[in-house]
Structure 1
Amino acid sequence: MIKAYINSRANVHKGDGANEVAGSTTLLVMNGKKFIAADFGGGYKVVVCKDGLLQLKCVTNSEEHKPRKKSRLAITAQNVESDTNFIILASDGVWEVMRYQEAVDLIGHIEDAQKAAECLAAEALTRMSKASISCIVVRFH
């Protein structure tokens, strides 16, 4: 994964604005047993909900909001336990206006992952988030 990110960053940043960093983030779920989150300057956080409560917050590069000349690759790997309900991967546009447990509480009852992600994005818009808003929810059954 590290090699893939380094190669993709090299290909993206050729020419004008090559020193500015646009974010790229990946969330892989393998056989429903493990997930890997990788962030290269994207400003995303991964939140895991187990038994309806926030259990784990995997912070990637999200504390660094401004474009910079050099980004750091952050990779987190965690096991998916039998009591894992869902994972939220969201940008700073969500997290700047909502606490982690608030997000978990907001979508905890929504079974459809797409609708849950849309609900989080809509709430961030309602709360007038100033940053880019993107969100993915992965549900486990």
Structure 2
Amino acid sequence: MAGKEILHKMKEKVGLGSSDPDSGKGKSKMSKKITHGFHLVKGKSHHAMEDYVFSQFKQVEDNELGLFAIFDGHLSQDVPDYLRSHLFENILKEPDFWRETEKAIRKAYRITDANILEKAVDLGKGGSTAVTAILINCHKLVVANIGDSRAVICKNGVAKQLSIDHGPSMERERIEESGGFVSNFPGDVPRVDGQLAVARAFGDKSLKEHLSSEPHVTVEFIDDETEFVILASDGLWKVMSNQEAADCIKPIKDARSAAKHLTEEALNRKSTDDISCIVVRFG
């Protein structure tokens, strides 16, 4: 076997998929039916790619965790890159993770945001949205998010959103009570203090008084009706509904091919933003 093939096999084994950093796949050891794949495409903006993905299975003593996340940066590569390296680590360090998973995730989100703000000199003035999904022993799925990256589950062909899009309009009261404002000027979408088009994010030190880093957390149990889960940045959801995305990949059994197909369809629909997508298939 050639060196490149050996490297490819090693990467697949640890869940990194191919040598292409913008695409990859892996599978559960606990249930061979459960697979995951991801694909990223840079948008048409003049800045560097600001979407980052985490997608792999991890053995923790006698348990298996599927760890999946989309981090969509704004004015920053450094903050989403930091999240990719540290957010799950901080979640799993919480002593109550196994007994009170949702509480542990909320606490780890707050701690991680505080760490980012402390490192603002190094990480810059930007920030990042996040959607994370933790699959515990192939049975319990815990989804958390801040911002407008989204998680959608498909059961029996029906798409259901597991996250909440934290738009400024829906949180206007909280923003105004903290001394901020929501304005459509400049531009054509509501923005916090006329700057940021999401009401919750990591980082963004200059806006932090008016932004929240408190995640929406939900729990879903995997059953025989569960087909797949999609995590994606808003570059996908700006041009596709939840059900359209589910219908688009229903016949595609390979998770990485499904993720790639979604990004291609978003491009066909004229999405100009960075697009990142993870698909987790359940048999």
Partner of 2:226: 84
Residue 217 of structure 2: SS of its match in structure 1? strand
- Displacement of 1:128 in angstroms is 1.6
Question: Which runs of 5 or more residues in structure 2 are unaligned?
Answer: 1-104, 169-195, 199-206
Amino acid at match of 1:98: M
Pair 1:37-2:143 in alignment: yes
Matched with 1:94 is 236
**In structure 2, what is the Cα distance between the partners aligned to 1:52 and 1:74?**
25
Could you tell me which amino acid in structure 1 is paired with residue 109 of structure 2?
Y
What is the distance in 1 between the residues matched to 2:106 and 2:158? 31
Partner of 1:66: 197
1:52 aligns with 2:157: yes
1-side partners of 2:127 and 2:120: how far apart? 13
Partner of 1:111: 253
Contact 2:231–2:279 (Cα < 8 Å) also in 1: yes
Contact 1:44 1:62 in 2 (8 A): no
Deviation at 1:62, TM superposition (A): 4.5
Q: Determine the C-alpha separation between the residues in 2 that align with 1:15 and 1:105.
A: 41
| Cα deviations by residue, 1:91-124 (Å, 9 ceiling, x for unpaired) | 1111110111111111001111111111111111
Structural RMSD (CA): 1.9
For the residue of structure 2 that corresponds to 1:59, the secondary structure is coil
Unmatched 5+ stretches in structure 1 = none
CA distance in 2, matches of 1:62, 1:106: 25
Distance 2:242 2:165 in 1: 16
Question: Quick one: percent identity of the two aligned structures?
Answer: 39
TM-score (normalizing by structure 2)? 0.45
Letter in 2 for 1:112: D
Q: Which has the higher helix share?
A: 2
Amino acid at match of 1:66: A
- Residues 122, 85 of structure 1: alpha-carbon distance in 2 compared, 3 angstrom cutoff: same
- Of 253, 258, 263, the residue aligned with 1:121 is 263
Q: Residue 118 of structure 1 aligns to which amino acid in structure 2?
A: K
